Every structure is written in C-alpha cells, then in structure tokens.
Amino acid sequence: MTPTRAVRIRCAGRSMTITCQKREERTKISTRLGPLLRTITKKKENYSLAIQVYVNATSNVYKSFNAATRTQKESYKTAFKYHSLHFFLANALRILNTFWRRFIKQHFHTYRGTNVTFFSDRKTTM
C-alpha cells in the first residue's frame, strides 16, 4: 500500500484537508480546488457562509435545519423558516459537485463533524 498524503487548502481563514495517495492526485486537487473555493468565497460569499453556518459545531443550526427539512416539506412554501439557507446550501453543493465531476473525476465522501479520515475502495459500503 502506498503512503497516504494530505492536501491542505486554506481559504478565508478556513482550511480543508483532502487525503489521497498519488502525487498527481494531490497536485490536481490543490491546483483546481483552491481557486474554486476562492471563487465561491469571493464572488458567492453567501454560498460559503451557508456552508460555514451548517457545519459550525458550536451553533447546532444543522440539527434544527435537518429536523425542519424532514418534517416541514409539506409546508415548505408557508412555514419553512430556512428558505435562504436551503437555497444557498443546495447551490453550493451543486457548484462543488459540478467541479468534482468535471476536473477531479474522483468521488469523495465527507462527513460533517468528524475529525477522522475514512478510507475505502470504490463501490464498497462503509
């Protein structure tokens, strides 16, 4: 098994670590993901802010947001109070997903709130 290395990308005071084995993968990720995150942060500040609000462990917004999206789908147009957060999160994920498919051509699973790195082969269940 080849040694695993991490790519750390800093953007707007936040950092992201992506772990991969091949040097070419690390180079591709760091050269393409860095500008994308800067673009989302500068031009689409609300997308970046929505992601930060959702993943912030101290605010627990994600708990009430998740509960509301599960239980209030019938009243989405009337009583749902997270319209903006839902809109910006969905668009941020769409932008990131398009980026991953177009440039990286590799699939990553990330989990909110974990400090552990998960490894698996493709098409396996974790």
Q: Give the residue numbers spanning the domain of 31.
A: 5-104
Entry pTM = 0.51
> Is 126 among the domain residues?
no
Model pLDDT, residue 10: 47
For the beta carbon of residue 67, count every other beta carbon within 10 angstroms.
Answer: 10
Closest by CA position to 22, among listed 34, 37, 5, 10: 5
Model pLDDT, residue 54: 81
What's the number of domains the chain is made of? Answer: 1
pLDDT < 50 regions, the chain = 1-4, 6-19, 26, 126
Q: Under a CB-based contact definition with an 8 Å cutoff, are residues 15 and 9 in contact?
A: yes
> Is 124 among the domain residues?
no
For residues 99 and 70, give the distance between their C-alpha atoms in angstroms, rounded to a whole number.
28
For residues 99 and 96, give the distance between their C-alpha atoms in angstroms, rounded to a whole number.
5
User: For residue 116, what are its two tokens?
Assistant: 């552990």
Model pLDDT, residue 56: 74
Model pLDDT, residue 64: 87
Model pLDDT, residue 78: 82
